[in-house]
Amino acid sequence: MKLFNNIKSLKNKEAGRRAFILANGPSIAKEDLSVLKGELTIGMNASTLLEATHNFRSDYYVLSDTRFITHPEKKHLATTALHPETVRVLRSELKELDHKELANPTYYIPALQRDGFSKNLHAGYFFGCTTTMLAIQLAYYLGVSEIYLLGCDLRYQAESPRFYTETNPQLEDSFTSVQIWNIVNASNLLESEGKRLVSCSEMSFLRPYIEYEPFARAVESSDVFA
């Protein structure tokens, strides 16, 4: 594995670009993600399945949940199923559980506290009870100007909490308010710096709190906010 201990090499690496974050809510399954070819994408958890379906690859991949990488039906999605050039950014606690022979450049960073926003991933990140928060903080650290959230529904319905099928679904209803608070806090911080955090999920519980834009319209836009 190409292990990099110093994530400082990623700081502002994608300055001025826009990024699409691939969360795992059911709504993402309705989108034509093949149009993401050439776009900066940050995947997480089972988003690897979407790459295979829509014939694209994520530039970055994040993972923070120990339950995911230890699950026998899911671990390969965070390891061997990824494109070897996808850069992985994982919570440091996952290092000992990770696959040891991947070609992917991989960084491990510590979790600080639950609530907040880190501008410096070298020091760590705030986990906010959702891997989406790691993706947002990574996008900020990369220097991204516009961040679009796909599939960040935050509706953990028992019959379909995520876009993919699970034998034993992991529900997060008790943390939804924490997740919303942290993502809205991130949106406010980004806005104060002239950047955007946009939800592309019409059904998301984020809809009343942060900017919404349909994915089709977002991907067609050529505006870049510096």
pLDDT tens digits along 123-169? 999 999 999 999 999 999 999 999 999 999 998 665 665 655 555 65
- Mean residue pLDDT of the chain comes to 90
* pLDDT given for residue 194 in this prediction: 98
CA distance 76 to 95: 15
The whole-number pLDDT of residue 1 equals: 47
Q: Establish if 88 belongs to a structural domain.
A: yes
Residue 111 inside a domain? The answer is yes
- Domain assignment present for residue 84? The answer is yes
Q: What's the CATH code of the domain at 194?
A: 3.90.1480
What residue numbers bound the domain in which 63 lies?
A: 2-220
Query: Looking up tokens 């104060």, which residue turns up?
Result: 192
Which tens digits make up the pLDDT trace of 10-51?
A: 999 999 999 999 999 999 999 999 999 999 999 999 999 999
Given a contact cutoff of 8 angstroms between Cβ atoms, the answer to whether 111 and 133 are in contact is: no
Q: Is residue 226 part of a domain?
A: no
- Is pLDDT of 101 > 80? yes
**Residues forming beta bridges with residue 44, ordered by sequence position:** 62
Say what the pTM is: 0.91
Give a yes or no: residue 213 inside a domain.
yes
Coil, helix or strand at residue 47: helix
Domain count, the chain: 1
145 is a domain residue = yes
- In this predicted structure, the answer to whether residue 226 has a pLDDT above a threshold of 50 is no
| Helix ranges (DSSP H) in the chain | 48-54, 66-70, 131-141, 176-192, 215-220
CB 144 within 8 A of CB 193: no
Q: Residue 131: phi, psi to the nearest 5?
A: -65, -20
On whether residue 225 sits in a domain, the answer given is no
Quickly state the pLDDT bin for 67 (edges 50, 70, 90). Answer: confident
Burial degree of 69 (CB within 10 A; 0-12, 13-18, 19+): buried
